Structure 1
C-alpha cells in the first residue's frame, strides 16, 4: 500500500524546526510552513483552531493539519505537561517527532522495568501497531504526530475520553469540524 507522506521527510521538518521559539507561536508557524513546503497539496496552512484533546488521560492541545482515511498529521502539545496512556492501535502506526520539550515513556508489556530513552527535540519514535506505552509529556513539549494505517480506527480512542469521561462536548464538536474541513479540502484537491 502506498502512502503520500514519508516519515523521514517529517523527521527532517522537525529537525529544521528545533530551536525556533515556542512562546511566541513561531515554532508552530515555522513547522507548518516547512510541512507545506514538503507537501504543498496536503497541508492546510490556513489558520486553524487549537482543539482540546484528552485521550488515555493525556490532556493537551491539538492542531489538525492533514487527515485522510489512511494518514493524518497533527501538532500536539501541552504548555504545562501531562501524562497517561498512549493507546493501543491495532491498525495504525503512530510516529512522533519532537519539536520542543521532552517525552518520557515505557513499554507496558515488556519485562523491562526501565524507561525507554527520552525523546528530545529532533528525536523521533514510532508506536507500532498493537503496542502500548505509558508516557509523560513534560511542560512546554510539542510534537508532530503522524498516523499511518486505518485512521478511522483511532477515532474512538481519540474521542471517548474527551466525550464520556470529561463530558467535553465542545472539543468533540470542534474536532469533528476540523476533520470534516480537512476531508472536504482533500476531496476538492484530489477528487
Structure 2
C-alpha cells in the first residue's frame, strides 16, 4: 500500500522550524510553507482557517492541511495548554512532530507508573494502532499531526466530544467545511 506523505519529511520540517523563533504564528507559517514545498500537489501554502477542536477532553485549534481516505495532515495546538485522552485508534497510526512547546504523556495500559519521555520541539512520537495515552500539552505547544490508515475511523472521536459534550455546532460545521474543501481539491487534480 503506497502513501503520499513520508513521515521522514514531516520530521525534517519539524526539526527545521523548531527553535527558529518564539513567535508561534511564524513557526506555523514556516512549517506550512515547507510542507507545501515538499507536497505542492497536496498542501496549499495559502492562509488556512483555524477550527476549534475538542476530542478526548483535549481542547485546541486545528488547521487542516491534507485529508484523504488513508492519510491526513493537520497542525494542532493550544496557546494556553490542555490535557486529556489521546484516543484509541484500531486502524490508524498517529504521528506527532512537535514544532514548539512540550507534550507530556503516559501509556494507559503499561504497568509503568512513570511518564513517557517529554516530547520537545523538533522531536516526534507515534501512537501505534490500538494504543492509548493520557497527555498534557503545555501552553504554546503546536505540532504537525499525521494519521496513516483508515482515516475515516478517526472522525467519530474527533467530532463527538465537540458535538455532544460541548454542544459546539459551529466547530463541527467548520471542520466539515474544511474536510469537504480538501476533498474537492483532491478530486479536481
TM-score by length of 1: 0.97
The equivalent residue for 1:178 is 178
The equivalent residue for 1:42 is 42
Q: Residue 132 in 1 paired to residue 132 in 2? A: yes
Instruction: Give the Å deviation of 1:20.
Output: 3.1
- Helix, strand or coil for the counterpart of 1:25? helix
* Aligned pairs for 1:33-72 within 5 A: 33-72=33-72
TM-score by length of 2: 0.98
Where structure 1 has 5 or more consecutive residues not aligned to the other structure, the ranges are none
Where structure 2 has 5 or more consecutive residues not aligned to the other structure, the ranges are none
Is the Cα–Cα contact under 8 Å of residues 24 and 100 in structure 2 kept in the other structure?
no
Q: CA RMSD in A?
A: 0.8
Is the Cα–Cα contact under 8 Å of residues 106 and 115 in structure 2 kept in the other structure?
yes
* Aligned pairs for 1:37-116 within 5 A: 37-116=37-116
Instruction: Give the Å deviation of 1:148.
Output: 0.2
Is the Cα–Cα contact under 8 Å of residues 56 and 84 in structure 1 kept in the other structure?
yes
Is the Cα–Cα contact under 8 Å of residues 22 and 28 in structure 1 kept in the other structure?
no
The equivalent residue for 1:145 is 145
Q: Residue 15 in 1 paired to residue 15 in 2? A: yes
Q: How big is each residue's C-alpha offset from its partner over 1:24-76, in whole Å with a ceiling of 9 and x where there is no partner?
A: 61111100010011111111222211000000000000000000000000000
